[in-house]
Structure 1
Amino acid sequence: MSAPAPGATAEALNEAAVTRWIETLGLGARAPLSFERIGDGRSNLIFGVTDADGRRWVLRRPPLGRLLPSAHDVAREHRIMAALQPTPVPTPAVLGLCRDSAVSDVPLLLLEFVDGIVLDREEVAQAAAESWRARAGSALVDALVAVHAVDLEAVGLVELASHGPYAERQLRRWRAQWERSATREAPQVEQLAERLHAAIPAQHEVTLVHGDVHLRNAILDPAGGAVMALLDWELCTLGDPLADVGTLLAYWPQAGDSPRVPRGVSTLPGFARREQLLDAYATASGRDVSAVPFWHALALWKVAVILEGVARRALQDPRNPSGEGTVQVVDDLLERARQVADAAGI
């Protein structure tokens, strides 16, 4: 799992009340339970839970402070992940959802602890062999193919979201989110949105879309590198499967990228290059991937909007992680989106 994050849990959890709730779930949890923040906590907050016998679970809750409409809905995540339990999609087991205001002022989601590797820090990736790093990219592609193959009718998710044109929905949603979360004037956001809207490709199918697939949202097998669990289903919806491929590429910097692009572990030797990921997806899924550059540019733009919201939450509520440096990353992502759009003729 991810490394522990600094900071106490007192403001985010009523530990005594949460302990009592977990004890009612029939998991055999034995008090006292300890709670430790894990991950960087920029969206939903994640806690490792350990009982007196050393058994472990993972708890998710929305971030602190005022939330934007429809954002950080862990109850919706519960619905999606519970539906996916019988499918080949790698997800942690869903153990409980708490909506009791006597326990928490926001919903809480309890999940199985999956003991594997999360590539959320460069030192973790540095410790892995180059051959293992090479398998990480293909493992994420395999997981995406499984997500896109889910029978929506069979798992009860056919009405999860609109079946209408996905690109239009995404542009409309994230434009509105920018208006609510912007911390400054940034005309390039609307300029890019207009360019993307004018270049929307035809949508040929509707599948489950994870919405946020990248290395930090996957737990990998230490031995073979396979995806043991896909995490963070907050942005999951129904739409064009190529959107997920664009998102994977947006979160996959590689050696030789402009220095304005935020660095990530995928720049280390051994990790696949973006064109290799795209070829692997095309082969495994059998889909035409010619429209992926549009989705790549859209994903970079969307991630920039999301990170602007991180900066806003940090300004509005100091209990949330610092947004220091986030505005520069937002600008870098918008510049990268412009470059990808230019190269695609958008």
Structure 2
Amino acid sequence: MHTRESENPSSSASPPGLDLDRLADWLTRERPGLLAGPLSAGLIEGGKSNLTYDLSDGAQRWIVRRAPLGHVLATAHDMSREYKVADALRGTDVPVPAMIAYCDDAAVLGTDFYVMERIEGVPYRYADQLRALGEARTRAISTELVKTLARLHQVEPESVGLGDFGRPEGFLARQVNRWKKQLDSSRTRDLPLAHELHEALVSSVPVRSPSGIVHGDFRLDNVLVDADDRPAAVIDWEMATLGDPRLDLALMLVYQRRARILAERDSTDPATHDATVAPGYLSEREILELYAAESGGDLQGIGFHLGLACFKLAGISEGIRYRHQRGQTVGAGFEESGSTVPLLLELGLASLKEYS
């Protein structure tokens, strides 16, 4: 797996959050014969939520995922959820890594975690990465990204054993409440627009909405792209559930909107270099039209979902800022965490009026 600034395993020293001796003992018990030698691991940089490591026994390599250190929202970093949905989707039209083993014994690493197959592919994060490929390949990559999302949303949960994976009824209202709770519990400063956006969302929750499998954080750098510019695996299923699939689409568009605004402002925030600003990447209108054509979904009232996606991303970003200020993050790149929360709240209020 080409990782977001990954460090290849090179020594037996345990990286932060991953005790290799305990992990080796557990894997030996759970998967006898799996390990061919001592373990080494490196933290994969780039992600800002769950911790991801590149693991090796000298002959094979895997990926380990565990919850972040410190303060987290109870349901936001559920490893069993991530493991279950990816395992269930194996064999569908949605590409996912094979799941190797899951552990819910906190005595091993201090939290639950899982080990999965390591897939070769690139999680494109920066515009410069795509510029190097040219506009035609960039367009092809973004087109396949949207088609993959549509395929995910067409999977019938019951057909893959996920009929009880979530509660579709009342999903959008619960999401509004959930991210309000996240902002309240992670607050590091005064955010007056947070209350205003919350109230606006509460008063405009759709009475009815479709249901399906929701990834929860679908974007280009959560998809590994192979050498043929096709998705090799969709990763980072930590917020997956059953609910209104249009929230996935909206969040993907909000990431793009934020990146374009920051690029126009020549911001130093890392999000300025998001891949969605690269020449050739599908526009918002093209994404909406392609998704509608591929999924057959109704996008009426998508403005609400855009507003909710802004609120959700603000909650995620503020939570990361909170942990970083308390020294509970691992790796580099957290200095600007939460810097775009005020922008996201403004975007959320404006988005509620769109596509009505």
| TM > 0.5 fold call | yes
1: CA distance between counterparts of 2:81 and 2:66?
Answer: 12
Deviation string 1:181-220 (CA, Å, 9 cap, x unpaired) is: 1111111011011112222234242111111100111011
User: Deviation at 1:29?
Assistant: 2.8
Do residues 340 (structure 1) and 351 (structure 2) align? yes
Match of 2:237 among 225, 233, 236: 233
Q: 1:198 to 1:256 in 2, by over 3 A?
A: same
User: Relative to structure 1, is the Cα distance of residues 141 and 202 closer, same or farther in structure 2, using a 3 angstrom cutoff?
Assistant: farther
Note the 1:1-346 alignment, pairs <5 A. Answer: 1-4=2-5, 9-24=14-29, 25-26=31-32, 28-53=34-59, 55-223=60-228, 225-253=229-257, 257=261, 259=264, 262-263=271-272, 264-321=274-331, 323-344=334-355
**Deviation at 1:45?**
0.2
Q: Is the 8 A contact 1:313 1:320 kept in 2?
A: no
| TM-score (normalizing by structure 1) | 0.91
Aligned residues of 1:9 and 1:37 also touching (Cα < 8 A): no
Asked if 2 retains the 8 angstrom alpha-carbon contact of 1:207 and 1:238, the reply is yes
**Could you tell me how far 1:19 is from its partner in structure 2?**
2.3
Once the two structures are aligned, what percentage of the paired residues are identical? 31
Q: Is the 8 A contact 2:303 2:353 kept in 1?
A: no
Whether the 8 Å CA contact 2:142–2:281 is kept in 1: the answer is yes
SS at 1:251's partner residue?
helix
**How many residues are treated as equivalent by the alignment?**
343
Which 10-residue stretch deviates more, 260-269 or 211-220? 260-269
User: Structure 1 unaligned runs (5+)?
Assistant: none
CA contact (8 A) 2:218 2:248 kept: yes
Cα 1:148/1:344, change in 2 over 3 Å: closer
Cα 1:47–1:252 change in 2 (3 A) is same
Structure 2 distance, partners of 1:169, 1:251, is 22
Superposed CA RMSD in Å reads: 2.3
Contact 2:123 2:222 in 1 (8 A): yes
Q: TM-score, normalised by structure 2?
A: 0.89
Q: Measured at CA, do residues 169 and 114 of structure 1 come closer, stay the same or move farther in structure 2, by a change above 3 Å?
A: same
Whether the 8 Å CA contact 2:72–2:319 is kept in 1: the answer is no
SS of 1:96's partner is: strand
